[in-house]
Structure 1
């Protein structure tokens, strides 16, 4: 691989003159005052609407009737609670606690509770039905619960019915307590929610309140966010500027390190690739710096515009890359020549494998009963990890004694990483075979979402071995092989993610959406209401 000495010249950064005038600052202040004034006015209006939302009248239920065919609630206690619920008109409040299977309906049938409520009413409480037998009686509000089969239902006469979203809101109000088995509290919450929604004044409708809150919140968020984003943008620039000066000060040293990398080293190409990107980023950062005013020359309003905030983010990101990459290039050169801080650079290459050795117990002790094949694989992995730990110490000793060259030591670390990765992959395959019940589940486990590169980045791995492997994988077009920079760290995280993904696959979140309507078994019944599961 050819190598040439690179000595890029440092560029003089253009100065940026102040661009804001007192008149512009006064206009900005005037706009801010207008926003605050509008915000206060709308808050006052919304407050008046909220205060005016108290109902003109509060009516206790005309009657309360609790029927429990399951023995799960105490009708007397529940009735004593429900008589105190304030509606806005006379209603007959009815609670039905039943088991849908008692009426011939299956738990898997979405309309089971709807149909069971109709069947119960026709059989035991015809007063709940209108004269046409196809609707609920006027003035009747029904809350239904099936504790065993986990259904909630709300039904009503045509004159006191809610819209579909209202029925769903009542069921939503009941769901948390029902999920905890607090049946009386669930039904009481449902009654209070129904009373709150029935004949609700237009100004108390969530749409109206939300619209007002959106306007007020929009102004508040707009004003506060703009100021917060402005501060963040300026802070990014202020933090990045001294780092960029440090990068420029170290530019010649970085260039010298890149130009003296040993051409025969397979690891030098990864560092040279980094350096080529580094040069591009130097140009980008210099151009961004020229467009960003210095602290003393920066107008008060700089950072309020999206374009300025984007410049700040790009500048910060670019400088962070440069600040890390120049260290990587210099460290790689030191290691390959055993100069300067080569020992720290070598420790950086050892760290991913050392982390895997340290993670051995937590990765393998998951508290599960494993197969004989997995037991044997774990034993092999333990033995291999012990050998790897010992060999890492030997490689360090040989490097310090100049008994092995750096390239050979790095190649040996790659071989150890490959062996450990293969052993982990074998254990992974055995685990999938044990836990997955079919091909789909096996695929779910293999595809368990976890970003190994992100994990390595968060752990601070800056390994030239990792960069060389990534570059080789990109060139070969085969990035999905079993190689992991820190195999047992990867495996430990994969276990957690695959367990979670498999559980989600087997038990997908059931929809809590309401089911309206009735089956043919209800004979064309078309009363208002719906049910849902909890």
Structure 2
């Protein structure tokens, strides 16, 4: 059955069930614009005109004053869950007394504050007493912003943070979670089956079309380059260690091209009306994956022929082999400066990584000169490239362990940090080079994974100290805010 017919059948069943509840929901929609907007962008990360324009379309259930505050908390904020809460309160006391109640013990009525610390990776939401929401809803608001914040989209995160709060503050019962559940429970009974049926079909059809388009594009590239790829394979010296391994992959390429042709004929016979079926998506996925595999493999075969065979384009081929290694070595200084905690920068392991990166960059320059002057064979140059990356990986491993031992106060904290860093390392993006093609099982420690691992490790450390599994908020009850009891909290992203 086509997606159109699926939707028609399911829609007819739902109209009568949800109509009354939906009508009541719409009648209680928020209608108030923000009464005022203040942006105190101490971190310099928000584009105010974009924020102001976006917030013109946000509506509140009651008139609300909105404040957006950004703050650079520095090194301490990475390990203090209350750093942003304290910074907001300190800023209010020093610069924005109108944000506080008359007795300065709570936030002013009608106020909502959205705050973010890009250095401490903290996002906070704070409420006047007549705008307060539960801690769970505070965390929901914060969580909604975190994808944007992790991507460095600070203005977008602020817009989301205000919109999510507007939806929840002073919301009528029908627009609260319990009210919505009560209103649509009958509709859910009818919608679960039909909605899932339609939604799955639509999602599969969309994904299938994308798979088909990419598969066709990749296949056209593979077929168009097939004769040239065969010529490149003939130019690869069989007595080369790496050349011999790539030639084995050429045999796979030849067999894979036949399989790709068969898959192409098969998927072209699938009508689009069947793209919403699981079996169709599975065949289209196999088609796309096979085309992608061959499209990357023929590039490696071309580079192998050029580099090992001494063609005039060998320099460009070598650049593509060394580029990932060079990028890692060049990223070491910034990583040590910006990501390694202050307590870890003076470690012997940190100095070892720095010295190795400097020597590694000099070695890459030396290898190019030696290749130019034919003082080193291409095989030996590739060996050196692999050893360089292995050496850097080993030193990053040692630095990771040393930083964990330096920061973790007990075994539980060290285990939490190591686990988070290990998971980030496992997310290494694949590279397509002669080295990775001839040794698919080879693994290394990219500097970018090390950097993201430090951030994840710091977050895991704080979660361990807080005694929670993550996502918890920190309010004012345990901060340095003294007797302040305003509503609000922060969490890490």
TM-score bracket, shorter-length normalisation: 0.5 to 0.7
CA contact (8 A) 2:424 2:456 kept: no
Deviations 1:422-473 (A, max 9, x none): 333332332222123334443433332335464332xxx32222344544x5
Q: 1:466 and 1:494, CA in 2 relative to 1: closer, same or farther beyond 3 A?
A: farther
Q: 1:276 and 1:503, CA in 2 relative to 1: closer, same or farther beyond 3 A?
A: farther
Unaligned runs of 5+ in 2: 29-104, 106-131, 140-169, 473-489
Number of residue pairs aligned between Structure 1 and Structure 2: 341
Task: Give the equivalent residue in structure 2 for 1:357.
Answer: 329
Could you state the TM-score of these two structures normalised by the residue count of structure 1?
0.53
CA contact (8 A) 1:289 1:315 kept: yes
C-alpha separation between the residues in 1 aligned to 2:429 and 2:5? 49
C-alpha separation between the residues in 1 aligned to 2:456 and 2:470? 23
Q: 1:362 and 1:466, CA in 2 relative to 1: closer, same or farther beyond 3 A?
A: same
C-alpha separation between the residues in 2 aligned to 1:39 and 1:177? 29
CA apart distance, 1:33: 3.9
CA apart distance, 1:346: 0.7
Q: Which residue of 12, 15, 21 maps to 1:37?
A: 12
Task: Give the equivalent residue in structure 2 for 1:271.
Answer: 246
Deviations 1:243-296 (A, max 9, x none): 3133123234334444553333332354245434434533432232222236xx
C-alpha separation between the residues in 2 aligned to 1:370 and 1:512? 26
Q: Which residue of 215, 230, 240 maps to 2:190?
A: 215
Task: Give the equivalent residue in structure 2 for 1:425.
Answer: 397
Q: Which residue of 465, 469, 476 maps to 1:506?
A: 465
C-alpha separation between the residues in 1 aligned to 2:470 and 2:418? 27
Deviations 1:466-516 (A, max 9, x none): 344544x5xxxxxxxxx6264x33432332232223333333427999xxx
CA apart distance, 1:304: 2.5
Q: 1:485 and 1:506, CA in 2 relative to 1: closer, same or farther beyond 3 A?
A: closer
Does 1:484 pair with 2:457?
no
Deviations 1:28-72 (A, max 9, x none): 86665444433433343554787999xxxxxxxxxxxxxxxxxxx
> Which aligned pairs between 1:220-239 and structure 2 lie closer than 5 A?
220=195, 222-223=197-198, 226-239=201-214
Task: Give the equivalent residue in structure 1 for 2:406.
Answer: 434
Question: What is the aligned-residue RMSD (CA, Å)?
Answer: 4.3
Task: Give the equivalent residue in structure 2 for 1:343.
Answer: 315
Unaligned runs of 5+ in 1: 1-23, 54-146, 148-171, 180-191, 198-202, 474-482, 514-533
Task: Give the equivalent residue in structure 1 for 2:161.
Answer: none
Task: Give the equivalent residue in structure 2 for 1:16.
Answer: none
Q: Which residue of 194, 197, 215 maps to 1:240?
A: 215
Deviations 1:99-132 (A, max 9, x none): xxxxxxxxxxxxxxxxxxxxxxxxxxxxxxxxxx
C-alpha separation between the residues in 2 aligned to 1:177 and 1:453? 33
Q: Which residue of 432, 447, 455 maps to 2:428?
A: 455
Task: Give the equivalent residue in structure 1 for 2:341.
Answer: 368
> Which aligned pairs between 1:163-174 and structure 2 lie closer than 5 A?
174=134
Q: 1:177 and 1:441, CA in 2 relative to 1: closer, same or farther beyond 3 A?
A: closer
CA contact (8 A) 1:227 1:304 kept: yes
Does 1:285 pair with 2:260?
yes
C-alpha separation between the residues in 1 aligned to 2:10 and 2:410? 60
C-alpha separation between the residues in 2 aligned to 1:421 and 1:412? 14
Task: Give the equivalent residue in structure 2 for 1:382.
Answer: 354
Does 1:466 pair with 2:436?
yes
C-alpha separation between the residues in 2 aligned to 1:275 and 1:30? 47
> Which aligned pairs between 1:16-415 and structure 2 lie closer than 5 A?
33-44=8-19, 46-47=21-22, 174-175=134-135, 206=181, 209-213=184-188, 215-216=190-191, 219-220=194-195, 222-223=197-198, 226-258=201-233, 260-293=235-268, 299-365=271-337, 366=339, 368-370=341-343, 374-415=346-387
Structure index of larger Rg? 1
CA apart distance, 1:407: 0.9
Does 1:497 pair with 2:476?
no
C-alpha separation between the residues in 2 aligned to 1:512 and 1:391? 45
Moved more, 267-276 or 314-323: 267-276
Moved more, 42-51 or 206-215: 42-51
Q: 1:39 and 1:276, CA in 2 relative to 1: closer, same or farther beyond 3 A?
A: farther
CA contact (8 A) 1:262 1:268 kept: yes
